[in-house]
Amino acid sequence: MARTHTGFRIIAALILLGIMAVVFASLGNWQLDRAGQREAIKAAIQAGRSTAALHLDASTPATELVPWRPASAQGVWLHPLTVLLENRNYQGRPGYWVATPLLVDEASNSAILVLRGWMARPMRPGETVPVIPAPAGPQTVSGQLLERVPRLFELMSLSQDDASQLPSALPDTTTPVPKVQNLDIEAYGKAAGLNFLPTVLAQSAESSALAADVQSGTPLLQEWPEPSLDSDKNRGYALQWFGFAAIAAGAWLVIVWRVLRRKIKPPTL
């Protein structure tokens, strides 16, 4: 009976150690994949920023809209269609990103979605959203291209009435400045009746000053967050997981070796 229990424990230990070795090795490979992804992002950023600056208009081909590429556009701000992106923090302070379409061709209703900058969120009772800069007339805006509006993890609302949902039509008289967690260009264009270029322009601070934003409302900050590119940290984590896998595999081999040694050991008289 004792041998049965001992054999069961050995088998259970071997199964557990085998699973641990496979899981730890898989986590190590996952960390290596993450390191490769970050290296690819770093290369894409360097390639985009080293590309010649692009002037955007309604006829700009999609193949030229390389992420991180310097770009500029001339048009008119469509301030009534401004949207605020919630939960965008700056140096620990809660705030919004201001997103406004820049109309570049009135005939075709072509526009570019511009992330204009960050402004602080009202925190005290009675405070309201700061006045959003609203320069009039033709504006020249420069910055760098993004593939899309950077997204935040968003939990689906359990209720059907989601306060952060983009209105079906813009401008919305009931919500003068809609606040959303994430913003999809296609949905935004449909609600606003605009034909957006398939890109996003993150405005630069120099461009903001030239557009005289600081003279017509609360100044917006254009210090955009950079993607995390520390691939060495992922490789360090991968090394740790592979070390754990080696320990589990080594323990598995030791148990097997001891079992085999017992079986082949000659009986004593």
The string of pLDDT tens digits covering residues 115-128 is 999 999 888 887 77
User: What mean pLDDT, rounded, does the chain reach?
Assistant: 87
Looking at the DSSP bridge assignments, the partners of residue 70 are 144
Q: Provide the pLDDT for residue 37.
A: 94
pLDDT, one tens digit per residue, over 209-262 is 554 444 455 689 999 988 888 999 999 999 999 999 999 999 999 999 988 888
Q: How many angstroms separate the CA atoms of 146 and 85, rounded? A: 16
CA atoms of 49 and 70, how far apart (whole Å): 6
Cis peptide before 150 (omega within 30 of 0): no
> Would you state the pLDDT for residue 215?
47
Q: What is the pLDDT of residue 167?
A: 87
CA–CA distance, 112 with 74 (Å, rounded to integer): 10
pTM: 0.78
pLDDT of residue 266: 60
Contact 167, 178 (CB under 8 A): yes
- CA 85 – CA 193 distance, rounded (Å): 20
Average of pLDDT values for 200-208? Answer: 83
Q: Which amino acid is at 263?
A: K
Helix (H) and strand (E) counts for the chain?
4, 8
Domain range annotation of the chain: 2-45+230-264, 53-215
Q: What percent of the chain is predicted at pLDDT more than 90?
A: 64
Q: How far is CA 268 from CA 4, 63, 222, 226, 262, in A?
A: 22, 81, 82, 71, 12
